[in-house]
C-alpha cells in the first residue's frame, strides 16, 4: 500500500475509535421516535398515498441512520460508500424491471 492509502485508513480508524456511546444512544432514540411516528400514522385515517409517502420517507431516513452509524458506513472511505450506493440502485432497478410488473398483474386478474 502507498502512504496515502495508509494515511486515509489511519484517519478513518482514528475517527472510528473516538465514538461516544451517547452518539449511538441519540441515533437509537431517533430511530425509536420515528418508529413510534410510523405506528401512530398507521392508526390514522390518512389517504393511502399521503400515508405511504410519509412512511417511505421515514423508512429511508431510518435506513440511512442504521447504515451510517450502526453499520459504520459513515466512517468508510468513499469507494466503499459508492460501491454500496451503486449496489442498492442496481437492486432497485432489478426489482423495478422484473418483480414489480409481476406484482401488478393482480390488477388485471381481479378477485373472484
- Give the domain range for residue 88: 77-112
Which of 101-109's residues contact partners 24+ apart within 8 Å by CB, and which partners?
none
- Listed in order, strand segments (DSSP E) in the chain are none
* pLDDT tens digits in sequence order for the chain, 112 residues long: 577 777 777 776 666 666 677 888 899 999 999 999 999 998 998 888 899 889 989 998 998 888 888 877 777 778 888 888 899 889 889 988 888 777 777 777 766 5
**How far is it, in rounded angstroms, from Cα 111 to Cα 54?**
29
How many domains does the chain divide into?
2
Residue given cell 405511504 in the structure block:
52
Residues 68 and 85 in one domain: no
pTM over 0.75: no
Residues 81 and 51 in one domain: no
Residues 67 and 109 in one domain: no
Residues 28 and 65 in one domain: yes
Q: What is the CA radius of gyration of the chain?
A: 20
Amino acid at each position: 500500500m502507498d502512504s496515502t492509502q495508509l494515511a486515509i485508513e489511519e484517519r478513518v480508524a482514528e475517527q472510528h475509535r473516538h465514538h461516544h456511546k451517547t452518539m449511538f444512544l441519540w441515533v437509537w432514540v431517533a430511530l425509536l421516535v420515528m418508529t413510534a411516528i410510523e405506528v401512530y400514522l398507521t392508526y390514522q385515517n390518512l389517504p393511502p398515498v399521503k400515508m405511504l409517502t410519509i412512511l417511505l420517507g421515514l423508512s429511508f431516513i431510518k435506513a440511512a441512520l442504521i447504515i451510517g452509524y450502526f453499520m459504520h458506513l459513515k466512517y468508510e472511505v468513499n469507494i466503499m460508500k459508492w460501491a454500496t450506493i451503486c449496489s442498492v440502485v442496481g437492486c432497485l432497478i432489478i426489482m423495478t424491471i422484473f418483480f414489480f410488473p409481476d406484482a401488478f398483474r393482480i390488477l388485471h386478474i381481479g378477485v373472484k
